[in-house]
Amino acid sequence: MKENEIEFIDILNVIWKRKWLILIPTLFSIVAAGVISFLLPPQWEVDAIIMPSKFLIQIEGGPLKEVLPVELEQIAGQINQAVYNNIIAAELNMDIRKFPKLRAENIKDTNLVQISVKSKDIEKAKLILYSLFNHLKKELDAQTDIETKGINSEIKSKEIENLTLEEEFDEAKNELNIIKRRRQEIEKEMTDIRKKSEELEKQRHLILKKKNRSEPEILAMLLYSTTIQQNSMNHNTLNELLSSKKIEGKLINLEIESKERLINQIEDEIDILNERKGRIEYSHLIKEPTSSLSPVSPKKKINILIAGVLGLIIFTLLAFFLEYLEKQKARTKE
């Protein structure tokens, strides 16, 4: 315990002995850091947030899935690796050697990319970010354009198919109406034939009741019988034709129902395609390039604090080193 106390007292003695060696250079470092910080031009941070383009794809046997044409990490990586610096510098007539560093990152748990740049010129920094966004948008939207064109092509194809089916549907309905009218005509003909046959049957029955028939009545009775028989044959023929028309009508009804189902199915498919198209998003800025409220560098207070702490540590160590050298010299002389 006494040894520790002696060592601690020795340390304090060394610090006190060489206090000016520690304090003056440290103070000079603080002043130098402060002066340099005040002389350095202020830099603002300008940032923007990008929503990359996205679209939906149909997973086989599953729901629609949202897809990004390029991975967000890849977008951020290309920006951080200065892939676009030369293009932007040429576009804005900037010296590439003085081009500021672009930074990008995928905002956690989102499909957003934040891009930022530090610069003394806020307006130029904004132009850099706008230029960067335009180049990104061109690349990202290329795949989305292909998807949009593909969906439009599918919709057009479905609409043409649907139009053809609707025309066939209308033709079938018209054909069914013609068959219905023809059935009504046949039924009317059959009714007329039946009424005529019943009337002739009555006339023949009256003649048959007579005991003494004249020759004209006998001839009339034979004529009635022949006409009734012919009407019966015509009635049977019309009945067969009516049955045929009923079957034909049922077949057309089935065809109409089938086409109606197909039309509804295609309309549903068109609705799904329109939904996919409606949920396509092209790249856009969620946040326009905006500068920080105050300069982000130089950080004067932090620079002064760091200079003070480092100065104390370095010059204190130097004081102990000098004290060590002094003691070594003294021992050598002894």
What is the rounded average pLDDT of the residues 296-322? 82
Is a pLDDT exceeding 80 seen at residue 297?
A: no
- Domain parsing of the chain, residue ranges: 151-278
CB atoms within 10 A of CB 94: 17
Is a pLDDT exceeding 90 seen at residue 49?
A: yes
How far, in Å, CA of 317 to CA of 11, rounded? 11
How far, in Å, CA of 121 to CA of 99, rounded? 12
Looking at residue 59, its pLDDT comes to 65
DSSP per-residue letters across 131-157: HHHHHHHHHHHHHHHHHHHHHHHHHHH
> What's the order of all strands across the beta sheet hosting 113-119?
102-106, 113-119, 44-51, 284-291
How far, in Å, CA of 114 to CA of 48, rounded? 6
Q: Supply φ then ψ for residue 170, to 5 degrees.
A: -65, -40
Is a pLDDT exceeding 80 seen at residue 182?
A: yes
Lowest pLDDT segment from 109-113, 196-200, 295-299, 307-311: 295-299
Looking at residue 215, its pLDDT comes to 76
At 160, the pLDDT band (50, 70, 90 cuts) reads: very high
pTM, entire model: 0.61
Q: Any idea which residue has 């030369």 for tokens?
A: 86
Q: Supply φ then ψ for residue 44, to 5 degrees.
A: -105, 155
- pLDDT 10s digits, 229-256: 898 898 899 899 999 989 999 999 999 9
Is a pLDDT exceeding 50 seen at residue 5?
A: no
Q: What is the mean pLDDT of the chain?
A: 86
Percent share of the chain, pLDDT over 70:
94
How far, in Å, CA of 123 to CA of 280, rounded? 32
- CA proximity to 140, closest of 59, 88, 74, 66: 74
How far, in Å, CA of 155 to CA of 143, rounded? 19
